């Protein structure tokens, strides 16, 4: 049976979305805006955009913004372009539409801060009613217009005589709710105005209703926009501004200027080291209005040694206007600012060695992270960067003068195992266990072609240890057999050699990779026959053994290898192994902790029995 076309029976009907304004405000407060305090930023932003549009009509006018808060009302008055009655119906009563999108000013859109047309709704975070009184500057003979919007979604519009608003512009008045006092008290309104608007280009004043003179919110432009009699005076002013903003005295300040996007500001070099990868938030203003105090995205990850405050013309804010939209412009700005930081490092290296030394001493980890990915910085600063070596903490440039072959360990514990012996043997070893160090040391030949770099392996080290004579080795054979049996549970072999310093009784030659391979082999044996055992068995290699190398030059070792009591021989071998493990400073396994305690107590008991 053919299907009957029922489209004629059920004609589609166009309907209009019904917006629950209270629900929308709740959504804004919990998911778009970080705090109710943004209501004042949005009011300031609307006022600034209105002034920008007014200047397009009257380029030489002297216009400003006036704030008033007395604890009962909050009022923001501007001398901006104003609104007609038609504008009010179009832009204030339609959620999501912005006057900045209107065709008549579309070509000026880049001059405005706001782009989303929802800013006025933020006022409902602190008030149940918004009162707007406006008069248009574009239509001078138009009457003043009053708009009242309420949190339940209703609004009223009426026209008033021109005397109700003698001058063009807009006044927005809020009657705060009782629970919004935290954000609408006079002192708080003034503080928020300074916080958000200290760099605005239009004059902003604040009146607390006490009858005194209105206080300027932004009394002077940013220091980078002012002239100074000398470069030194400018540097001091920038540093003082950075200290005032961030609360620390900068090690140095780097002036930032990107004319292509209208960006100016400073980067303040932190006076103390910070953990690698901890990205600080930066203060970003857009056209003078504070956008964010935590804009991590303005700089690359390696630049965690600075905090920036910038003011830009062309960066695009997100809908909440509390962060930056990730686009090609932001990516270009990030790259350009990174280049400014590189230039500062280059200038310090070329002309201010004291500053460079202080900087590298404090932020060597940040520079190492940069050098890994930046060949220019690598060539410039690798010889200056400090590393832990068998010659102490020194630069690679100084280290390479005495060691044409540089050996590098893969972990901190391996370096600590071998450092004293390698130094006594004349080997040049660098600790490659810290972040970026091993990779950077391997790039040393790019700077000094005469230097060779290789990873340190146990064979390289043991090759520099002298064997004992045959007679001594034969005499020590029974003890070595007892020691190997005692330490078999740790997959550890025992050998007797001579090496410096003589004060070192033993050297444990082991690596993290070797321990992992032994663990994998043990698990494979325990799981033999199952699927997991088959997988581990396929991965299994010849498990490398650790090696405890006893130093025949050490008096304690010479005494130990002569022990003929089996239990005491085992205990002494365990004690020597435990001491060597502790010297390596790697984490102790439970069995090793138990061994160290047991061997100490056994030796103590033996000594007490002997004395008695």
Closest by CA position to 249, among listed 298, 195, 307, 196: 307
Report the interhelical angle of 531-539 vs 512-526 (nearest 10°): 150
**CB-based contact 553:500 (threshold 8 Å):** yes
Q: pLDDT of 3-24, one tens digit each?
A: 555 545 555 666 655 556 666 6
Q: Would you give the distance in Å from CA 580 to the centre of its chain? A: 39
| pLDDT of 101 higher than 50 | no
Strands 283-286 and 306-312: parallel
Of residues 390 and 422, which shows the higher confidence score?
390
Q: pLDDT of 183-198, one tens digit each?
A: 999 999 999 999 999 9
| pLDDT of 2 higher than 60 | no
| pLDDT of 48 higher than 50 | yes
Beta strand extents in 153-276 (DSSP E only):
155-160, 169-176, 204-207, 215-216, 253-258, 263-269
**CB-based contact 547:576 (threshold 8 Å):** no
| pLDDT of 55 higher than 50 | yes
What is the distance between the alpha carbons of residues 315 and 300, in angstroms, rounded to a whole number?
Answer: 16
pLDDT classification of 529: cutoffs 50, 70, 90: low
Closest by CA position to 168, among listed 186, 141, 150, 187: 141
pLDDT classification of 100: cutoffs 50, 70, 90: very low
What is the distance between the alpha carbons of residues 158 and 361, in angstroms, rounded to a whole number?
Answer: 68
Tokens of 301: 């990850």
For the ranges 124-128, 208-212, 261-265, 496-500, the maximum mean pLDDT occurs at 261-265
Q: Which residues pair with 159 in a beta bridge?
A: 145
Q: Dump the DSSP string for 294-349.
A: --GGGS-TT-TTEEEEEEESSPPB-TTSSSB--SHHHHHHHHHHHHHHHHHHHHHH
pLDDT classification of 106: cutoffs 50, 70, 90: very low
**CB-based contact 307:246 (threshold 8 Å):** yes
pLDDT classification of 536: cutoffs 50, 70, 90: very low
134: phi then psi, degrees, rounded to nearest 5: -145, 150
% of the chain beyond a pLDDT of 70: 82
Report the interhelical angle of 470-487 vs 566-584 (nearest 10°): 80
Q: 3-class DSSP state for residue 77?
A: strand
Give buried/exposed letters for 399-418 (b at 16+ CB in 10 A, else e).
bbeebeebbbbbbbbbbbbb
% of the chain beyond a pLDDT of 90: 42
- Mean pLDDT over 136-150 rounds to 89
- Mean pLDDT over 107-122 rounds to 52
Residues in the chain, how many? Answer: 612
Q: CB atoms < 10 A from the CB of 602, how many?
A: 17
């Amino acid at each position: 049976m053919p299907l009957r076309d029922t489209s004629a029976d059920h004609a589609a009907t166009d309907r209009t979305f019904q917006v629950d304004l209270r629900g929308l405000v709740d959504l804004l407060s919990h998911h778009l805006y970080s705090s109710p305090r943004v209501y004042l930023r949005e009011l300031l932003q609307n006022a600034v955009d209105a002034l920008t549009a007014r200047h397009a009509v009257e380029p030489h006018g002297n216009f400003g913004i006036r704030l008033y808060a007395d604890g009962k009302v909050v009022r923001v008055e501007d001398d901006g372009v104003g609104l007609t009655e038609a504008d009010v119906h179009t832009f204030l009563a339609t959620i999501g539409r912005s006057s900045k999108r209107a065709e008549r000013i579309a070509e000026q859109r880049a001059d405005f801060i706001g782009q989303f047309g929802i800013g006025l709704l933020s006022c409902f975070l602190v008030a149940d009613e918004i009162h707007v009184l406006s008069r248009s500057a574009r239509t001078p003979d138009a009457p003043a217009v009053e708009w009242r919007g309420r949190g339940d979604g209703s609004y009223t519009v009426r026209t008033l005589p021109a005397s109700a608003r003698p001058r063009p512009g807009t006044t927005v008045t809020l009657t705060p709710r009782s629970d919004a006092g935290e954000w609408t008290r006079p002192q708080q309104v003034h503080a928020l105005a300074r916080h958000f608007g200290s760099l605005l280009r239009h004059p902003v004043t604040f009146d607390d209703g006490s009858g005194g003179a209105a206080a300027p919110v932004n009394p002077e432009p940013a220091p980078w926009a002012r002239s100074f009699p000398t470069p030194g005076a400018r540097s001091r002013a920038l540093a003082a501004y950075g200290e005032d903003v961030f609360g620390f005295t900068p090690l140095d300040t780097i002036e930032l200027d990107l004319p292509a996007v209208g960006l100016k500001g400073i980067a303040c070099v932190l006076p103390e080291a910070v953990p690698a990868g901890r990205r600080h938030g930066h203060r970003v203003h857009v056209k003078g209005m504070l956008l964010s105090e935590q804009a991590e995205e303005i700089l690359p990850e390696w630049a965690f040694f600075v905090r920036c405050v910038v003011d830009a013309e062309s960066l695009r804010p997100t809908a909440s206007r509390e962060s930056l939209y990730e686009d090609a412009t932001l990516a270009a700005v990030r790259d350009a600012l990174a280049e400014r930081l590189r230039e500062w490092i280059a200038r310090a290296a070329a002309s201010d060695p004291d500053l460079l030394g202080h900087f590298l001493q404090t932020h060597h980890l940040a520079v190492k992270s940069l050098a890994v990915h930046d060949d220019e910085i690598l060539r410039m600063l690798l010889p200056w960067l400090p590393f832990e070596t068998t010659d102490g903490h020194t630069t690679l440039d100084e280290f390479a003068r005495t060691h044409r072959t540089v050996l590098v360990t893969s972990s901190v514990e391996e370096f600590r195992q071998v450092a004293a012996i390698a130094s006594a043997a004349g080997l040049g070893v660098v600790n490659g266990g810290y972040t970026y160090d091993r990779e950077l040391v391997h790039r040393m030949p790019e700077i000094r072609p005469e230097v060779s770099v290789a990873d340190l392996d146990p064979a390289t080290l043991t090759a520099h240890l002298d064997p004992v004579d045959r007679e001594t080795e034969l005499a020590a054979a029974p003890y070595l057999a007892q020691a190997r049996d005692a330490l078999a549970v740790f997959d550890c072999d025992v050998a007797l050699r001579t090496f410096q310093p003589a004060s070192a009784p033993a050297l444990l030659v082991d690596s993290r990779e070797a321990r992992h391979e032994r663990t994998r082999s043990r698990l494979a044996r325990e799981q033999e026959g199952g699927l997991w055992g088959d997988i581990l068995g396929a991965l299994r290699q010849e498990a490398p053994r650790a090696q405890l190398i006893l130093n025949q030059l050490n008096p304690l070792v010479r005494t130990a290898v002569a022990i003929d009591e089996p239990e005491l021989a085992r205990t002494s071998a365990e004690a020597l192994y435990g001491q060597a493990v502790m010297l390596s400073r790697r984490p102790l396994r439970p069995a090793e902790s138990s061994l160290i305690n047991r061997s100490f107590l056994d030796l103590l008991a033996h000594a007490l029995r002997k004395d008695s």
